Every structure is written in C-alpha cells, then in structure tokens.
Amino acid sequence: MDIFVTVGMGRWPFDRLLQAVRPLCASHNLVVQSGTSNVTLPCCTYRFLPFQDFILQIEKADIVITHAGNTVRLVQRKGKVPIAMARQASKGEMANDHQVDYLRYEEQQGWVVPLWDVANLPRLVETHLATQARILAARPLAQSVPGEVVAAILNRLCEKWIR
C-alpha cells in the first residue's frame, strides 16, 4: 500500500508522528515529508517537497497521514480522507493547541480519521480504505472550485466595491 506522510512545512518538528510511522516502513511503501525533524526513517524521506510534488504525492497515495493543519484540506480536496494527528503545545510540538481544536472539529464533522493515540496507527492504516469509503459514501466532500471560477467571483465583487 502506498502511504504519504507529511508533517507540514512549518518550523515545528513533529517527531512523535514520525516515530509512530516508523514500523509502517517495513510493510508499506511510504514517502515521508519530514520537515524540520531530525528523525531518520528507513523509507523514502524528503525534508521538504516542492508544492507540485507534494500534491502529486497526495494524489498517488492510497492513504495520507498528516498533521492536523492545512494539509487536511488539501487531502480532502483530492477526494480522500486523511488520518490526522494534532501537534500539542504540552509536548513542545506547537505554540498552542489550535491543531487539537481543529482535529476535534474535523472529527465531529466526520471528515477525518483522527489519530489521538499513536498505538492505534497500525489498526487505522489496516482499516483505512474501508473507513474512507464509508465516510465518503456518507459525507461526500465538497469538490474544489476551478481557479477561473474563483477569479471571476472575486472580479465581480471587486467591481461592486470599487464603484
């Protein structure tokens, strides 16, 4: 199974998530974007990826495991349900707990598979394709809007405001 793991592009390392995915390297094809972490993994790892390569990895992956940040929406926009784990301020992974709050919100909406306990990761991966199919059947994600449509709407709004 192809799995893409990302901890985002920010300055905060997320060693706890990377340590949790280490055992998956032996049984799955992982590509990992490790960011500022110094954790060494026995699988294909990049500190940072150009945005287009990052999106390509999301598209190619059977499963995306991510921090509970902006990447959650990118994964959802590609028609997938991410497994997401929140950075926690108490563990020195972030300045505050906004990712915890965001993950709770996404969990309540039913749009994400939350990873609250790293011990659950192997089970979540094992069952993810079935879980994702069930979630998408029950709660389809909104499709992304083409850039030209967004630009046209913004142009109309600007014309109204400028007059």
- Torsional class of 37: left (φ above 0), alpha (ψ -120 to 50), beta (otherwise): beta
Q: What is the pTM of this model?
A: 0.86
Q: Which SS3 state, helix, strand or coil, does residue 24 take?
A: helix
> What digits encode the pLDDT tens for the residues 23-76?
999 999 999 999 999 999 999 999 999 999 999 999 999 999 999 999 999 999
> What digits encode the pLDDT tens for the residues 118-163?
999 999 999 999 999 999 998 765 666 777 877 777 777 777 777 6
Q: Which domains does the chain have, with CATH numbers?
A: 2-162 (3.40.50.2000)
CA 12 vs. chain centroid, Å, equals 15
The secondary element (H helix, E strand) that includes residue 29 is: strand 29-33
Q: List the structure tokens of 128.
A: 């993810």
The secondary element (H helix, E strand) that includes residue 108 is: helix 98-109
Other residues' Cβ atoms within 10 Å of the Cβ of residue 153? 11
